[in-house]
């Protein structure tokens, strides 16, 4: 028909691959910021304080940038996203403090099968062979990494329990944030979710209630790396990927966080990897590659296609 423009299939595949790469890049920043966070915990900083500061700075920066208040009908879902976002970050940091950054990064990826189960049962999404293969490879890779010699050295029951709670929280805010992202955009969702999520934590630990055994410059750059790189950068990249891929695909791509955490822990925390851990990392990278070669993006059920919104 004259005048009608159709999207070439390769355009959809390119957008899909870019979204997977965005989720993986965000996860890499999370993994590296987890290494910086463990240094802060070793110096006496509490997980509650670091989570509160991470959320409030992110929220203030993004809300001040977009300067837009979501409509009233969005607030119940936005509050649910804020609770999940705050819980995921707190439980992750608590798991790092209870064990180590490698263990916390590995265990949190139980969110992958949780999301797959959600999409199958609640969204009635088809559990394709490709999706099952990528999830299986990711879970197998995480298991090999987690139970390698280096990561198991500080493998503690509290760390595992907190990592599982982190995984449940990740699955929760991933699902609840998708309609908000498609309706209001990444910055509004991330900004207001972070700002609202910081409120209860700030009542438990005020910004001035912090102590660190190291030097002032060391504290400053570690904190800046965790907040600016790990949160502003990493979370925005992850939320942005949800425009074009499903929550399970996004979460499977973020297994790159385990690779970044393992390498960062080996370089900066003297956590040496063994052959099984390297094999696990290879399986994770294969799972991300399979996602990049999968079908073009699918919009989750009940979610309208993404649109651009004015600031």
pLDDT tens digits, 10-38: 667 788 888 888 888 888 998 899 999 99
Q: Which residues in the chain land under pLDDT 50? A: 1-8, 151-152, 295-311
Q: How far apart are CA 37 and CA 226, in angstroms?
A: 7
pLDDT of amino acid 202: 92
Q: What predicted TM-score, i.e. pTM, was given to this entire model? A: 0.76
DSSP state of 297: P
Q: Where are the beta strands (DSSP E) in 142-290?
A: none
Kindly calculate the radius of gyration of the chain based on its CA atoms and give it in whole angstroms: 19
Task: Measure the CA–CA gap between 213 and 40, rounded to whole angstroms.
Answer: 9
- Compute the C-alpha angle 250/94/51, nearest 5°: 75
State how far the Cα of 128 lies from the Cα of 24, in Å rounded to an integer.
21
pLDDT of residue 41: 93
pLDDT of residue 185: 85
């Amino acid at each position: 028909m004259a005048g009608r423009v159709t999207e070439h299939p390769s355009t959809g595949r390119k957008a899909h691959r870019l979204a997977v790469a965005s989720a993986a890049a965000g996860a890499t920043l999370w993994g590296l910021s987890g290494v910086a966070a463990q240094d802060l915990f070793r110096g006496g900083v509490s997980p509650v304080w670091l989570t509160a500061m991470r959320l409030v700075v992110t929220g203030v920066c993004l809300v001040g940038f977009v300067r837009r208040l979501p409509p009233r009908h969005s607030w119940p879902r936005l509050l649910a996203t804020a609770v999940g976002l705050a819980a995921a970050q707190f439980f992750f940091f608590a798991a790092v403090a209870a064990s180590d950054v490698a263990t916390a990064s590995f265990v949190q990826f139980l969110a992958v099968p949780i999301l797959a189960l959600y999409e199958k049962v609640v969204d009635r999404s088809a559990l394709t062979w490709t999706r099952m293969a990528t999830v299986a490879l990711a879970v197998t890779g995480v298991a090999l990494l987690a139970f390698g010699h280096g990561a198991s050295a500080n493998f503690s029951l509290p760390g595992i329990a907190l990592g599982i709670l982190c995984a449940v929280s990740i699955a929760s805010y991933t699902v609840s944030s998708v309609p908000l992202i498609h309706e209001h955009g990444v910055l509004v969702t991330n900004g207001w979710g972070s700002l609202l999520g910081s409120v209860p934590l700030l009542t438990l630990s005020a910004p001035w209630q912090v102590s660190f055994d190291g030097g002032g410059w060391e504290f400053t750059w570690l904190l800046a790396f965790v907040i600016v790189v790990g949160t502003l950068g990493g979370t925005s990249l992850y939320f942005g990927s949800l425009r074009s891929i499903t929550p399970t695909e996004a979460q499977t791509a973020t297994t790159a966080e385990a690779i970044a955490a393992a390498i960062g822990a080996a370089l900066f925390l003297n956590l040496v990897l063994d052959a099984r851990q390297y094999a696990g990392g290879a399986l994770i990278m294969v799972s991300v590659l399979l996602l990049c070669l999968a079908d073009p993006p699918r919009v989750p059920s009940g979610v309208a296609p993404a649109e651009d919104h004015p600031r």
